[in-house]
Amino acid sequence: MDLSLRRLVLPASQRRSIEELRDAVDLRHGDRRAKLTAFWSMLTLSAVIATAGVLSDSTATVIGAMIIAPLSTPIMGLALGIVTRERMGATPLVLLGALLVVLVGWGATALSPGSVDLASNSQVLGRTSPGLLDLAAAVATGLAGALALSRRDVAAVLPGVAIAISLVPPLAVVGVCLGEGDHLAAAGAMLLFTSNVVALVIAGTVLFAALGYADLGEHGRAVGARARSRVVLTGVFLLVLTPLFVNTVLVVALHSMADEVETETRRWLVVVPGAEVTKVEPSLAGFVVSVTSPQEPPSLIELEDALADIVPPYTRVTVELTTGRRYELGVVNPGSG
């Protein structure tokens, strides 16, 4: 980064020293015992709050868990350690912290009476199908977090950064989904968490290096990010990028298909006065079509035939009426003729 631009982004009067930055993100720096007890206490409470928010489908509760979650601290410590070529013990904290949250989510689900309707829970649905937009948001959040840590005058934005990046809630969703036996949804939530961690580390590493902290490593020696760390981070980033890209393409295709399903369903209902399609929800399992109708709908065979050329073979389409009736269409193979 050009020096003039660096001074504009990080004025000397607001620049945190490397020691201040270490103290902020390295839990072994300074009063290690106090920092670690605070970290584990707040992370446990955050895990409980996030799990409760997921189980009760409460957005406000989940946001509360985001604000108090300390998991981003060792993640940014990992980024700073890469830049200054110092070991800060961040990786074990991130891994063990993630395991703790997953176990809390799994345990709470196992102890909860009844089962969780994952298909209708917005906290679960919003975190089990990540895409490239989630990765872009995580990178921007990582840049904002690194800049906030580097400047003394914008530290107040850190709670906002904590809300913008999703760390503890997707881990709680992983635990809940595992508790319900939905391993595919759990994998999706874990992918979201992993991509967010990788994005935070990469964004933090780039910004800390660009702001000159790579020149202020241990004992003041000129040091840079280790080549091996850069290679590992790049490899992990590409590994995470691939499923995110595939999922993004799949989601776009599903929503495009959902529009066609809605169009054909409207045509199917045109013979019923007052009937209309209120919503079409796509998923990997198929489509759920919500219909308002004052009377019984037309023959389902007609709808199956109309959808046969739109959706993939054997896709399940569920038609839900406002009266509570559900019709399952195991949509036919287009080639079955």
Are 106 and 29 contained in the same domain? yes
Q: What is the pLDDT along the chain (337 residues), one digit of tens a residue?
A: 666 767 777 888 888 888 888 888 989 888 889 999 999 999 999 999 999 999 999 999 999 999 998 999 999 999 988 888 887 788 999 999 999 999 999 999 999 887 888 877 889 988 988 888 888 999 999 899 889 888 888 776 777 777 778 899 999 999 999 999 999 889 999 999 999 999 999 999 888 888 888 765 554 444 444 566 667 777 777 888 888 888 888 888 888 989 999 999 999 988 888 888 988 888 656 788 888 888 878 888 888 888 888 888 767 888 888 777 787 876 544 444 4
SS3 72: helix
- The pLDDT score that the predictor gives to residue 334 is 43
Residue 329's beta-bridge partner residues?
A: 317
Are 34 and 182 contained in the same domain? yes
What single string gives the DSSP state of each residue in 17-64? PHHHHHHHH-TTSSSHHHHHHHHHHHHHHHHHHHHHHHHTT-HHHHHH
CA angle 254, 260, 261 (to 5 degrees): 85
Are 167 and 316 contained in the same domain? no
Q: Where a domain ends, among 176, 203, 225?
A: 225
Whether residue 270 is contained in a domain is answered as yes
Are 43 and 177 contained in the same domain? yes
Are 288 and 212 contained in the same domain? no
- Domain tally, the chain: 2
Residues with Cβ < 8 Å from 28, sequence gap 6 or more? 35, 88, 89
Whether residue 249 is contained in a domain is answered as no
Whether residue 72 is contained in a domain is answered as yes
Are 202 and 272 contained in the same domain? no
Backbone angles phi, psi at 275, to 5 degrees: -80, 140
Q: How far is CA 72 from CA 26, 61, 98, 270, 290, in A?
A: 11, 19, 11, 53, 40
Cα gap 258→275, rounded to integer Å: 19
Are 289 and 205 contained in the same domain? no
Are 40 and 85 contained in the same domain? yes
Whether residue 31 is contained in a domain is answered as yes
* Residue 11 CB neighbours (<10 A): 12
Whether residue 78 is contained in a domain is answered as yes
Q: Where a domain ends, among 225, 247, 271?
A: 225
Greatest CA separation for the chain? 80
Are 34 and 157 contained in the same domain? yes
Range of the domain at 301: 255-336
Are 204 and 130 contained in the same domain? yes
Whether residue 56 is contained in a domain is answered as yes
Round the CA-based radius of gyration of the chain to a whole number and report it.
24
Whether residue 168 is contained in a domain is answered as yes
Q: Where a domain ends, among 225, 241, 268?
A: 225
Are 268 and 213 contained in the same domain? no
- The pLDDT score that the predictor gives to residue 332 is 47
Backbone angles phi, psi at 313, to 5 degrees: -55, 140
SS3 156: helix
Are 209 and 120 contained in the same domain? yes
- The pLDDT score that the predictor gives to residue 225 is 44
Whether residue 18 is contained in a domain is answered as yes
